[in-house]
């Protein structure tokens, strides 16, 4: 195609309008037309990455294959486009400033006074173009976090202004705003959108396309008004109303010719409209599944916030579709679980997920849930800390080590069945050691994990500091818990399962990160199938 085209997605009026979904939808539509597309997220906060952020603050921390702790929007990009993102796809203000300061300390700027313009903006521009220059993508979509008007966003907006000027037809700005509905007046109001666009224009950016988030459908008259007041073509004012599922959004955008408008504005041939066959099939299957009674799955964890377990929820939802049933996830707060109330809390659940997490809080409740599901043979899936809790509970209640724990939970306990492995001190994070990113795993033939994957060699992503202590492996295996997935290089345990139960598996890695719309994760599909069979 020649030169890389750059699309910038900005947001106004309010945060959480779905810039990530719109960016992913645009990417999906361009990808369906045969273009090579990637998406990146630029976050205005000063943290180097979201690894140190509380999930209540920022939702889950997503992990890329190259071991980068990233914004959860990268999960949307991967699920929609079926691509693998890397460290280069998520930049924060912290990383931009650190890079500039490191260069200054090395003397790269030859004694110049370092300023926001041009030094910070040049570093932002370099990062915007990095993927396009390196991998020659046809389109690089850059989502700018936060909202227009935030003080933190100004250097990014200035960088976009400069790039639009430098790149001409090869750059385009999509601005996402909110059109509120005033129930008392029975009217949709465009004034916030006008103000948001004015704010963007005041920093020298004229949006090319407006996407209006609204709870109610917008009339042609209202769209014309917005186009006129905001200096945008009528056909370039697109509405994004609430959809039953985020996966409908690409089709809603296609119906309004969003991809055609982008191609026309960037001087590219429009060509034939892609049919998005596999995507439509997925949605049809999903709608059909929703007409049946849902399968109920408990998610036992400590973060009572949807975004804190975003990838797990999406992986369960996708697995439900491929089992032709809707999965209804019930959050169960592990801090409140006791031996007395666990039966009530898990009543009616066909399967139980033991969620990941960090730290001591809520751990004992996870042990309670695991003991209950193990002794009542309820399909159970533990991820990361969930797998470690499965191992500790087994040591306490089956192997008879009443004091079994992990080194993280209790330094003094003799029976540290979850231990920190010295050889994993390669990556320092949060003052500790982490295993981050994709690692190999060899599955034991005949195991449930092997049956699910249908192959022996797999690769999955990690984000943890503690490992199964191999000193206890033989005792576990003798007592009925098998280590069915092993890292071939370090011999570390990746998967444990109890084969005598219907479905009882713990994974040290995070399988949810690699589940996509068109390729659901085999372990999630297998787990949901077992839950349905357990109804």
Active site residues: 384, 510, 512
Please answer whether residues 234 and 2 qualify as being in contact, where contact means their C-beta atoms are separated by less than 8 angstroms: no
Q: In what order do the strands lie in the sheet with 405-406?
A: 405-406, 416-419, 467-468
What would the two tokens of residue 325 be? Answer: 């049933």
Q: Which residues contact 176 (CB under 8 A, 6 or more apart)?
A: 9, 10, 11, 12, 17, 18, 19, 22, 210, 211, 213, 240
On the 0-12 / 13-18 / 19+ scale of CB atoms within 10 A, 235 is middle
Q: Beta-carbon neighbour count of residue 50 at 10 Å? A: 22
Q: Beta-carbon neighbour count of residue 17 at 10 Å? A: 19
Residues 178 and 189: their CA atoms lie apart, in Å, by: 9
Q: Beta-carbon neighbour count of residue 77 at 10 Å? A: 29
Residues 364 and 370: their CA atoms lie apart, in Å, by: 10
Residues 11 and 28: their CA atoms lie apart, in Å, by: 20
Omega cis (within 30) before 80: no
DSSP 431-483: TEEEEEEEEEEEEPTTSHHHHHHSSSEEEEEEEES-EE-GGGHHHHHHHT-EE
Residues 68 and 71: their CA atoms lie apart, in Å, by: 10
What would the two tokens of residue 175 be? Answer: 């601005």
Residues 226 and 188: their CA atoms lie apart, in Å, by: 12
**SS3 at position 485:** strand
């Amino acid at each position: 195609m020649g030169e890389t085209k750059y699309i910038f997605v900005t947001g106004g009026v309010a945060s959480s309008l779905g810039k990530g979904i719109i960016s992913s939808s645009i990417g999906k539509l361009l990808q369906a037309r045969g273009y090579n597309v990637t998406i990146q997220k630029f976050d205005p906060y000063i943290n180097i990455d979201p690894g140190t952020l509380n999930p209540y603050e920022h939702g889950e921390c997503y992990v890329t294959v190259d071991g980068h702790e990233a914004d959860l929007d990268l999960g949307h990009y991967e699920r929609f486009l079926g691509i693998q993102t890397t460290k280069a796809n998520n930049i924060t203000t912290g990383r931009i400033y650190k890079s500039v300061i490191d260069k200054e300390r090395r003397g790269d700027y030859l004694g110049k006074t370092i300023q926001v313009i041009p030094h910070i903006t040049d570093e932002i521009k370099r990062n915007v173009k990095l993927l396009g220059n390196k991998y020659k993508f046809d389109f690089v979509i850059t989502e700018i976090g936060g909202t227009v008007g935030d003080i933190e966003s100004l250097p990014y907006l200035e960088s976009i202004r400069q790039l639009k000027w430098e790149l001409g037809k090869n750059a385009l700005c999509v601005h996402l705003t909110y059109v509120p509905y005033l129930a008392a007046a029975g009217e949709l109001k465009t004034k916030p959108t006008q103000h948001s666009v004015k704010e963007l224009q005041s920093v020298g950016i004229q949006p090319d396309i407006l996407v209006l988030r609204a709870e109610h459908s917008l009339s042609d008259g209202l769209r014309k008004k917005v186009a006129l007041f905001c200096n945008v073509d009528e056909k370039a004012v697109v509405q994004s109303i609430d959809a039953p599922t985020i996966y409908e959004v690409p089709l809603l955008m296609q119906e309004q010719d969003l991809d055609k408008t982008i191609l026309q504005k960037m001087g590219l041939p429009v060509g034939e409209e892609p049919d998005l066959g596999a995507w439509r099939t997925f949605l049809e299957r999903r709608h059909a599944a929703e007409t049946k009674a849902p399968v109920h799955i408990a998610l036992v964890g400590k973060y009572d916030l949807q975004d804190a377990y975003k990838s797990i929820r999406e992986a369960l939802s996708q697995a439900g579709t491929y089992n032709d049933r809707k999965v209804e996830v019930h959050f169960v707060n592990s801090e409140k679980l006791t031996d007395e109330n666990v039966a009530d809390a898990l009543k009616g659940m066909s399967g139980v997920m033991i969620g990941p997490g960090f730290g001591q809080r809520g751990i004992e409740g996870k042990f309670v849930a695991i003991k209950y599901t193990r002794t009542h043979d309820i399909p159970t899936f533990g991820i990361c800390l969930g797998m470690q809790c499965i191992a500790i509970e087994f040591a306490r209640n089956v192997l008879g080590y009443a004091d079994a724990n992990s080194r993280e939970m209790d330094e003094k306990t003799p029976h540290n069945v979850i231990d920190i492995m010295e050889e994993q001190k390669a990556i320092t994070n949060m003052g500790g050691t982490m295993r981050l990113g994709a690692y190999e795993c060899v599955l034991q033939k005949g195991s449930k994990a092997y049956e699910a994957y249908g192959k022996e060699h797999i690769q999955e992503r990690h984000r943890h500091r503690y490992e199964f202590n191999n000193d206890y492996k033989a005792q576990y295996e003798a007592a009925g818990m098998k280590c069915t997935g092993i890292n071939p290089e370090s011999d570390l345990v990746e998967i444990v399962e109890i084969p005598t139960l219907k479905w009882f598996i713990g994974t040290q890695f995070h399988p949810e990160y690699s589940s996509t719309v068109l390729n659901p994760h085999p372990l999630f599909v297998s787990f949901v199938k077992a839950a349905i069979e357990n109804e």
